[in-house]
Amino acid sequence: MSKSSNTALGLRRRSVLVVDDNVGVQRAMAEIVTSMGFEPVLASSRKEAIAICDRRAFDVAFVDKRLVEHDEQNQDGLAILRHVRMKNEGAFLVLLTSYGDFGDSTKLSEDVGNFRTMDKKIPGYEEKVREYLGEVAARAPHVIKNGLSARIFCGQDDPTNWENHAKSFLNPVVGILGLMNLLDELAQTCAPILERPGDNGIERTDTKAVMTGLYWSRGIGEAVVIILAKDEIPDEIPRLDIWPPSLDFGEVLYQVKRKNLVGAIVKSTSANYSEFTVLRS
């Protein structure tokens, strides 16, 4: 089956969480997920899966019901699905088993709503995985557009005032509409986006015509600094006084230029996920 054209959200691929204690199943699922144009993320235990889900949003989650071999009372898979659903981010949930036992499905449906089941022992289960991924790929994604990113990146400021201040500071040739379109694309890539309570969105820095903002991107699963600049991104990223002194910067995940306006998403290391508690999108 060819890759779907609808597996991308902004500048990143849709992501799939695969939780199974069988390495062979993980590898087989990852191959299928990748071939369908999605990005696989693998976990082997409840603890590992919960930690990943706390930092990143997923479009699909395939979760094995029993993650401790020969323990019929093990409920780890059910707990993981409940945890993913509690994030309320629209993930497509699939409960896996090798035993044909979905006896807990009724109770689980009361907790998490709609989900699918799949028996890994049935010949041709790979086609069922492709079928489920095809359903997700066919869904129209939630799109951030028409300048809605101003409400995400303005912090506590009025969105319209923030737009005008940003335009005045950066003086983009593409105008305020071009600025908003570029921001929409960056927001779409990072969404859902979290902000620290003490921060105030993308702000002016002491460096001429450069604005920066610190966020946690659940879409990417990393802390990121979003940079807006006139002409070019500076070699040394300007810091805001309110940022943690230990904050460091990694690779540039994305950079785009619209005439004299440049935008970038830069990976930020040493940031603590627990500090980001304000949902922006």
pLDDT digits (tens, 9 = 90+) for 2-20: 333 456 666 678 999 999 9
Q: In this structure, which amino acid lies at residue 59?
A: D
Residue after which a domain boundary falls, among 107, 138, 169:
138
- 144: in domain: no
The two three-digit tokens of residue 94, written as one number: 């699939």
163 and 99 share one domain: no
Q: For the ranges 25-39, 116-130, 195-209, which has the lowest average pLDDT?
A: 116-130
Contacts of 224 (CB under 8 A, 6+ apart): 190, 214, 215, 216, 217, 253, 265, 266, 267, 268
The two three-digit tokens of residue 1, written as one number: 């089956």
Residue-wise pLDDT for 198-212, tens only, equals: 999 999 999 999 999
Residue after which a domain boundary falls, among 138, 165, 197:
138
- 237: in domain: yes
Domain that holds residue 156: 149-279
pLDDT at position 123: 87
170 burial type by CB count under 10 A (0-12 exposed, 13-18 middle, 19+ buried): buried
| Among 204, 270, 265, residue whose Cα is nearest residue 239 | 204
- CA 2 vs. chain centroid, Å, equals 24
pLDDT at position 144: 81
Band (pLDDT 50/70/90 cuts) for residue 242 is very high
Residue after which a domain boundary falls, among 111, 138, 165:
138
- 24: in domain: yes
User: CA-CA distances (angstroms) from residue 39 to 107, 143, 253?
Assistant: 30, 19, 16
State how many domains the chain has: 2
Q: Report the alpha-carbon distance of residue 111 to residue 101 in Å, rounded.
A: 18
Quick check: 267 and 253 in contact, CB under 8 A? yes
pTM, rounded to two decimals:
0.88
- 3: in domain: no
pLDDT at position 3: 38
